[in-house]
C-alpha cells in the first residue's frame, strides 16, 4: 500500500491512515469522537451565529444540559475551540466566548494569502516527482470517497498546503502558516461542502504548478485558491448571522 509523508508530523502514513481519519491524533472510539464532534459543532454554530455573544461565560454544566450530553465530550469540544482562539480561559474562571468577528477571519486569510502565495513561488521546482505524485494520489483518493468526513478532507488539505509550505524552505514561515491554517480549520467541508470538488481541482492545479518551473504561475494559482476560500467563508459567516 502506498505511503504518504506528512510534513508537519514527520511520519509515514498509509493512504488508509490518511483518508481514514484525522492525522496525528490518538485513536478514540467512534462514539466518543461522534459526541465530541457534535458538541464542537453545536457550540461553534452558536458562536458563529452570534447566539453566544462575545464575553458570554461557557459553563460546562449548563451547556451539557442544553446539548443533552455528558460533560466529557463537551470539555473536549471547548478545548478545541480554545485552541482555535474562539473562546478564552482565565485562571479559576469559566471560559468565555472570544471577541472574534468576520473581520478577524478576513485578516487571518489575508495573512495566509501573503505568506502562502510567496511560499508557492519559492517552492516551485523544489518538490520531487515522488512527493508530488503522493499528493496527487491523496487528492484523487479523497474525491472518490462517497461522503468524506471533515477529518479526511482536512488531512488531504493539510498535506497539500504543508508539502508546498515545507518546500519553500523557511521553517518560521511554515510554522506561521500552520498556525493561521489551524485558526480557519473550523471552516471545513461540513460547513462549506460546495468547496470540496472545486478545492480538489484547485489543489491539483497548485501541485502541478509547483512541480513545474514557473514561480509566477504558482503564486497566481495559490492566490486564486485562497481568494475562493475567503469568499466561501465570508458567505458562510454572513449566512449564519442572517439565520
Is 101-242 a domain of CATH 3.30.70.60?
no
**pTM reported for the whole predicted model:** 0.70
Mean pLDDT computed over 57-79 = 90
Residue listed under C-alpha cell 487528492: 139
Neighbours of 117 (CB within 10 A): 19
Residue listed under C-alpha cell 478545541: 80
- C-alpha cell read off for 215: 514561480
- DSSP 3-state assignment of 4? strand
Whether 16 has a pLDDT exceeding 60, the answer reads no
| Tens digit of each residue's pLDDT (9 = 90 or more) over 140-182 | 999 999 888 878 888 999 999 999 999 999 999 999 999 899 8
Strand partners, 57: 96
pLDDT bucket at 101, cuts 50 / 70 / 90? confident
CA dihedral (140, 145, 150, 152) in degrees, to 10, reads: -60
147: enclosing H helix or E strand:
none
pLDDT at residue number 178: 92
pLDDT at residue number 175: 93
Neighbours of 24 (CB within 10 A): 12
| Tens digit of each residue's pLDDT (9 = 90 or more) over 189-226 | 677 888 989 999 999 999 999 999 999 999 999 999 99
| Tens digit of each residue's pLDDT (9 = 90 or more) over 31-58 | 556 888 888 888 888 887 778 888 999 9
pLDDT at residue number 52: 86
Amino acid at each position: 500500500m502506498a505511503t504518504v509523508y506528512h510534513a508537519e508530523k514527520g511520519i509515514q502514513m498509509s493512504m488508509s491512515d490518511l483518508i481514514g481519519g484525522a492525522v496525528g491524533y490518538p485513536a478514540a472510539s467512534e462514539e466518543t469522537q461522534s459526541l465530541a464532534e457534535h458538541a464542537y459543532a453545536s457550540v461553534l454554530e452558536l458562536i458563529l451565529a452570534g447566539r453566544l455573544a462575545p464575553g458570554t461565560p461557557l459553563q460546562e454544566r449548563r451547556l451539557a444540559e442544553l446539548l443533552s450530553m455528558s460533560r466529557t465530550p463537551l470539555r473536549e469540544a471547548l478545548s478545541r475551540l480554545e485552541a482555535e482562539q474562539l473562546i478564552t480561559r482565565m485562571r479559576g474562571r469559566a471560559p468565555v466566548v472570544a471577541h472574534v468577528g468576520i473581520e478577524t477571519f478576513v485578516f487571518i486569510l489575508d495573512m495566509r494569502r501573503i505568506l502562502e502565495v510567496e511560499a508557492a513561488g519559492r517552492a516551485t521546482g523544489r518538490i520531487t516527482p515522488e512527493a508530488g505524485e503522493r499528493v496527487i494520489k491523496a487528492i484523487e483518493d479523497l474525491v472518490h470517497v462517497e461522503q468524506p468526513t471533515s477529518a479526511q478532507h482536512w488531512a488531504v488539505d493539510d498535506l497539500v498546503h504543508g508539502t508546498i509550505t515545507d518546500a519553500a524552505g523557511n521553517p518560521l514561515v511554515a510554522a506561521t502558516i500552520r498556525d493561521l491554517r489551524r485558526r480557519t480549520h473550523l471552516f471545513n467541508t461540513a460547513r462549506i461542502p460546495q468547496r470540496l470538488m472545486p478545492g480538489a481541482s484547485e489543489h491539483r492545479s497548485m501541485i502541478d504548478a509547483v512541480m513545474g518551473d514557473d514561480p509566477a504561475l504558482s503564486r497566481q494559482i495559490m492566490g486564486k485558491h485562497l481568494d475562493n476560500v475567503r469568499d466561501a467563508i465570508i458567505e458562510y459567516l454572513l449566512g449564519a448571522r442572517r439565520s
